[in-house]
A and B are shown apart, each in its own frame.
Chain A
Amino acid sequence: MSDSTVAEMVEFELVAPERLVQSKSVGMVVVPCTEGDIGVLPGHAPLIGTVRPGVVDIHENGKVTDRVFVSGGFVEVTPDRCTLLAEEAIAVADITRENADARLAQAQGLLEKAKSEVEKSRATAAVEMAEAMLAALGAGAQQH
């Protein structure tokens, strides 16, 4: 496929274990990967990567049209498709500060109580996620 015939849109799919959260054609998606954010435009080289807790920005017509918080997972990119497997996905608009604060407090409580390595790593992941949630909230508030 030559560059001039590359599709103009990316088929973006956001999938959580419980359901298909989103599936649509978009201009660009910015995915928070463990080694830095990746902007996926049509014709992106095939890639598989891990995703850290953070916010996925969905761009259409050069503007951010949707922001979704994901708690980590995996992303697979092909020239015309971007599939994000997230463990949990919440629209940024649906996150409330109280909710995020409560999560953080709960996660920290778990971390303090954690005895085994497994519990500890799970709790640490939960804390990281809650912190990322709060960060997402902060960033969102600044934008509006």
Chain B
Amino acid sequence: MANLKDLKTRIESVKSTRKITSAMKMVAAAKLRRAQDAAENARGYSERMSRMLGSLAESFAGIEGGPKLFAGTGSDKTHLVVAFTADRGLCGGFNGSIVRETRKIVRELKSEGKAVKVLFVGRKAADVLKRELGDSVVDIITGIAGKKGIAFVEAQNVSLRIREMFEAGEFDVCSIVFNKFQSAMTQTVTRQQLIPFVGEKSEKPANDDKKSVPDSGPKAAYIFEPEEDEILADLLPKNLSVQIFQAMLESSASEHGSRMTAMDSATRNAGDMIDGLTLTYNRTRQAYITKELIEIISGAEAL
């Protein structure tokens, strides 16, 4: 039988675990609210930019060539996959689902005979996949989330890095994998192609009518000022940064949501465990007292 002291320490330790998880839940909830606002506010910008780029693409469709970021390199031999995860764990299935999806994509592409490179944003997926992917890992970018959330500069840096690699001819197609925030309970793993630009495919149905982009109505021929290709040359890198920024924000909101849910159930589990342990403790204590009483009584009777 477990002795009383052991049980006591056990209960104490579960209690302090519960304190920690419930504090983490609180923190995650506070951060979630901010991250969620940021992600939802930024959706308008990235949606409008996609739309603008879409109308540009339409009028550009007939023209030969165009910037590489737009038209691609003409081959699809080498793929770059950018996976967004958190730097820290203890957030349920958040990192795991990205790891699984990345692994799946890499296998798929490799079985099609394509070369794959992987860029990790966030430490967690890298920890798991680093050994498995070996040389395919280009870089691991960590520490993007600052005290006040994610700054646009971080996205610009990542996008610059990707652009430099692209211009050096290190890959042909770039796609990102991230958790898209839906609610604190649900996040969907989303894969989105960034280079070359794909129009409507990346679009998602606008759900909340207040922030959704109004229809642009019948397509009209746009005047461009300056010329199409100049705007495109300006807009494409910007769009890349914006889409990456959006992915970062969605990912961070998902992370906090996921952590909140995970810590909530951890807190609840700890509570259940404490109840169970307390019951055992009380039973043991009672049995102990009974045993002592019997000893005393039988001792007295023997006299």
- Asked if B234 contacts A18 (CB within 8 A), the reply is no
Contacts of B230 in A (CB 8 A): 50
The answer to whether A48 and B221 touch (CB under 8 A), given A17-B245, A35-B226, is: no
Please, what's the 1-or-0 string for B211-251, where 1 marks a CB less than 8 Å from any CB in chain A?
Answer: 10010110011111110001100110010001001000000
Cβ 8 A contact of A17, one of B220, B222, B231, B242: B242
Specify which chain B residues have a CB less than 8 angstroms from the CB of A60 in the assembled complex: none
Contact A18 B42 (CB under 8 A): yes
Secondary structure at the B interface, as helix, strand, loop or mixed, is helix
Are A78 and B216 within 8 A (Cβ)?
Answer: yes
Contact B52 A83 (CB under 8 A): yes
Complex Cα distance, B230 from A34, in Å, reads 11
Query: Would A74 and B222 count as touching, CB distance under 8 A?
Result: no
Q: Within the complex, what minimum Cβ distance (angstroms) separates B208 from chain A?
A: 12
Residue B189 is within 8 A (CB to CB) of chain A in the complex: no
- The minimal Cβ–Cβ distance linking A11 to chain B, given in whole angstroms, is 7
Mask of B42-60 contacts with A, CB within 8 angstroms, 1/0: 1011001101100110000
Using a CB-CB cutoff of 8 Å, which residues 81-98 of chain B contact chain A? none
B157 CB, min distance to chain A CBs, angstroms: 10
Residues from chain A with Cβ under 8 Å of B223 in the complex: 45-48
Contact with B along A64-79 (1 / 0, CB 8 A): 0000000000101011
Contact (A74, B44) CB under 8 Å given A48-B55, A50-B226: no
Q: Is the CB of A18 within 8 A of B224?
A: no
* Also in contact, A85 and B214, with CB within 8 A (given A49-B231, A50-B226, A118-B160): no
- What is the chain A residue whose CB lies nearest that of B150? A18
Q: Which residues of A contact B55 (CB under 8 A)?
A: 48, 76
Q: Do the beta carbons of A50 and B222 come within 8 Å of each other?
A: no
> Shortest Cβ distance from A101 into chain B, in angstroms?
22
Chain A 42-54 per-residue mask, 1 if CB under 8 angstroms from chain B, else 0:
0001111110000
Enumerate chain A residues within 8 angstroms of B234, measured Cβ to Cβ: 50, 74
- In the complex, A19 has a CB within 8 A of chain B: yes
Bound-complex Cα distance A37 to B51 (A) = 23
Closest 3 CB pairs of A and B: A49-B225, A19-B41, A47-B223
Residues of B bordering A, CB below 8 Å: 38, 41-42, 44-45, 48-49, 51-52, 55-56, 152, 160, 211, 214, 216-217, 220-226, 230-231, 234-235, 238, 242, 245
